[in-house]
Structure 1
Amino acid sequence: MVTRSPFVNRIIFYSLLTMTVVTTVFPFLVMLSSSFKTSEDQLTIPPQLIPQHITWEHFRDVLDPDVFPFLLYFKNSLTVSLITAGLSILIGTLGAYSFARLQYKGRSVIQKMVLIIYMFSGVLLVVPLFQMVAKVDLYDTKISLIVTYLVLTLPVSLYMLGNYFRTIPEALEEAALLDGLNRFQVIYKVVLPLSTPAIVTVFIYVFMIAWNEYMFASVFITSEENMTLPLGLSKLFFTKHYIWGRMMAASLLTALPIVALFMLLEKYIAGGLTVGGVKE
């Protein structure tokens, strides 16, 4: 067996890391560059990554309601994403805690069924969900998207939170129960503060799914007043106002909330908070 020196291993590692970073970041650099290029610079051959003439025209156009009602779509996306993420945390916390700590008949079966549901592709759920939404008269409403995104994300939320809750020493909860707290108080005062990394991770995950989802939104939403940003970008692509600069500017503004959310909450994601919580 041939063994490589540590120096060669480092070269291979950093080469692969560089390739990964370049392939990941390069599309965003192109989007950023195109959003500041003039319409003439978009067509230069060979293409240039650095704009020759910087313009803010595309951003002004995107924020012009007569060209692209960005603020309306932004408000709809933000409303749907925040409510979905909040409900997913609320329902997921209670459900995951019951899976991790409580003993009751059928718990294992229910837990397995939740994971089996996640195995089905979202495409398979379009027709049944559409029929349900139409029957309860929720078609073309933001509520239909919230319910749909909960169905899509709740299995992962339950799985991630449940696994994290199992890492919390049960002695902490038992001590709280002996002090007179009930189960809900234990969850609120003990489990949730120790589960901040998992809760933040699940919140970001659900928020991203709801923010970027297009397929279900395109089926359930028809009126412009309820459209989310992915639908709005698709609509802009097929209008007379479509040019590359505007599309890239709108895409950049759409991506910024996700980037900002991750940067604000990044410190809560890394590491657990229960180390040293109980002395052996």
Structure 2
Amino acid sequence: MVGKNTILKNIIFVVLLIILLTFVLLPFVTMLSSSFKPDNEQNTFPPQIMPENPTMEHYKGVLNPDIFPFLIYFKNSLLVAFLSAGIGIVISIFGSYSFARLEYTGRAAIQRGVLLVYMFGGVLLVIPLFQLITKLGLFDTRTSLIVTYVVQTLPVSLYMLGNYFRTVPESIEEAAIIDGCSRLEVIYRIVIPLSAPAIVSVFIYAFMIAWNEYLFASVFINSSQLRTLPLGLNQLFYTQHYVWGRMMAASILTAIPVIILFLSIERFITGGLTFGGVKE
């Protein structure tokens, strides 16, 4: 028989879980609902979750280049996010492996020093980064954003991958080296395949940071043709075409790539590829 205390704990747990899910999902549900509501239903009271007369006009408006150049902003965000996340992953793999496996003077100091970047907020770094970007001739270019996002996400990426690399049994690497593999071959053939869940997680983290970032993009980008989606959504507020439904539709379209990316590679995260790497 299940005790009364256990039943009570389960009930409390379920209630708290429902409250948490409601708190987390309600903004997204509201955004999705508003994107399909006609203008005359946006401010009704009491508010309705399901629109009475669903419409696709807001999505058509967002995808209309004369109203909102969504595809241009989407391309810019996708290019910047993928390149910055990809470059950051390559640097993080080699940097993290050196922290986890190699012995050299000052390793501990460098490893701790990397995390010092996170002691400073983005607002404090905007001015010195702007001066550096300007002197390098990178102002109003995608390269300025890619470099900034790589630097911004690198400390956490190095920390996360370094900790994961330490869980990979050294005996596998030692056996590969005895068989004649170089360090680069060990990384490519052993460490990367066994660390795929961590690498994918770090890639998603770096991609999301770059995809949603607004502060640095608003300072470093001036041309309308180079704006990313966060800048484009902000600009939509100040146009004659601004309506709540259209803003919500643009926000939904902005969130879709991240959702698709996560769902498509979720199996790598949950696969636990290091399980069974060494047999007893």
TM-score range, shorter chain: over 0.9
Whole-angstrom CA distance in 2 between matches of 1:162 and 1:104: 16
Classify the secondary structure of the residue corresponding to 1:240.
coil
Following TM superposition, by how much is the alpha carbon of 1:17 offset from its aligned partner in structure 2, in angstroms?
Answer: 1.0
Q: Which residue of 1 aligns with 2:257?
A: 257
Q: Which digits, 9 at most, give the CA deviation of each residue in 1:54-102, with x for residues without a partner?
A: 1110101100000000000000000000001101110000000000000
Following TM superposition, by how much is the alpha carbon of 1:45 offset from its aligned partner in structure 2, in angstroms?
Answer: 1.9
Q: Which residue of 2 aligns with 1:269?
A: 269
Q: Which residue of 2 aligns with 1:120?
A: 120
For 1:105-184, what aligned pairs fall within 5 Å after superposition? 105-184=105-184
For 1:157-236, what aligned pairs fall within 5 Å after superposition? 157-236=157-236
Q: Which digits, 9 at most, give the CA deviation of each residue in 1:117-139, with x for residues without a partner?
A: 12221111111111100111111
Following TM superposition, by how much is the alpha carbon of 1:106 offset from its aligned partner in structure 2, in angstroms?
Answer: 0.7
Runs of 4+ in 1 over 6 A off after TM superposition: none
Aligned residue type for 1:257:
P
Whole-angstrom CA distance in 2 between matches of 1:70 and 1:178: 54
Following TM superposition, by how much is the alpha carbon of 1:279 offset from its aligned partner in structure 2, in angstroms?
Answer: 2.9
Q: Which residue of 1 aligns with 2:22?
A: 22
Aligned residue type for 2:75:
K
Classify the secondary structure of the residue corresponding to 1:66.
coil
For 1:91-106, what aligned pairs fall within 5 Å after superposition? 91-106=91-106
Classify the secondary structure of the residue corresponding to 1:149.
helix
Classify the secondary structure of the residue corresponding to 1:40.
helix
**Further displaced range: 9-18 or 175-184:** 9-18
Q: Which residue of 2 aligns with 1:35?
A: 35
Whole-angstrom CA distance in 1 between matches of 2:242 and 2:139: 28
Q: Which residue of 1 aligns with 2:84?
A: 84
Classify the secondary structure of the residue corresponding to 1:275.
coil
Whole-angstrom CA distance in 1 between matches of 2:4 and 2:187: 50
Aligned residue type for 2:266:
E
Whole-angstrom CA distance in 2 between matches of 1:197 and 1:119: 28
Following TM superposition, by how much is the alpha carbon of 1:272 offset from its aligned partner in structure 2, in angstroms?
Answer: 2.8
Q: Which residue of 1 aligns with 2:278?
A: 278
Whole-angstrom CA distance in 2 between matches of 1:275 and 1:48: 48
Measured on the aligned residues, the alpha-carbon RMSD in Å equals: 1.2
Cα distance 1:4–1:217, how it changes in 2: closer, same or farther (>3 A)?
farther
Query: TM-score, length-normalised on structure 1?
Result: 0.97
Whole-angstrom CA distance in 1 between matches of 2:149 and 2:231: 15
Whole-angstrom CA distance in 1 between matches of 2:63 and 2:279: 57
**Further displaced range: 264-273 or 83-92:** 264-273
Following TM superposition, by how much is the alpha carbon of 1:13 offset from its aligned partner in structure 2, in angstroms?
Answer: 1.2
Q: Which digits, 9 at most, give the CA deviation of each residue in 1:97-156, with x for residues without a partner?
A: 000000011101100100111222111111111110011111111110011111110000
Aligned residue type for 1:139:
F
Following TM superposition, by how much is the alpha carbon of 1:243 offset from its aligned partner in structure 2, in angstroms?
Answer: 0.3
Following TM superposition, by how much is the alpha carbon of 1:4 offset from its aligned partner in structure 2, in angstroms?
Answer: 7.8
**Further displaced range: 131-140 or 36-45:** 36-45
Aligned residue type for 2:22:
V
**Stretches of structure 2 lacking an aligned partner (at least 5 in a row):** none
Whole-angstrom CA distance in 1 between matches of 2:272 and 2:114: 26
Q: Note if 1:44 corresponds to 2:40.
A: no
Q: Which residue of 2 aligns with 1:61?
A: 61
Whole-angstrom CA distance in 1 between matches of 2:4 and 2:231: 51
Following TM superposition, by how much is the alpha carbon of 1:271 offset from its aligned partner in structure 2, in angstroms?
Answer: 5.1
Classify the secondary structure of the residue corresponding to 2:42.
helix
The count of corresponding residues between Structure 1 and Structure 2 is: 278
Q: Note if 1:72 corresponds to 2:97.
A: no
Whole-angstrom CA distance in 2 between matches of 1:19 and 1:140: 45
Whole-angstrom CA distance in 1 between matches of 2:37 and 2:121: 39
Aligned residue type for 2:38:
T
**Further displaced range: 259-268 or 162-171:** 259-268
**Stretches of structure 1 lacking an aligned partner (at least 5 in a row):** none
Whole-angstrom CA distance in 2 between matches of 1:185 and 1:154: 23
Following TM superposition, by how much is the alpha carbon of 1:276 offset from its aligned partner in structure 2, in angstroms?
Answer: 2.3
Whole-angstrom CA distance in 2 between matches of 1:4 and 1:171: 50
Whole-angstrom CA distance in 2 between matches of 1:119 and 1:194: 32
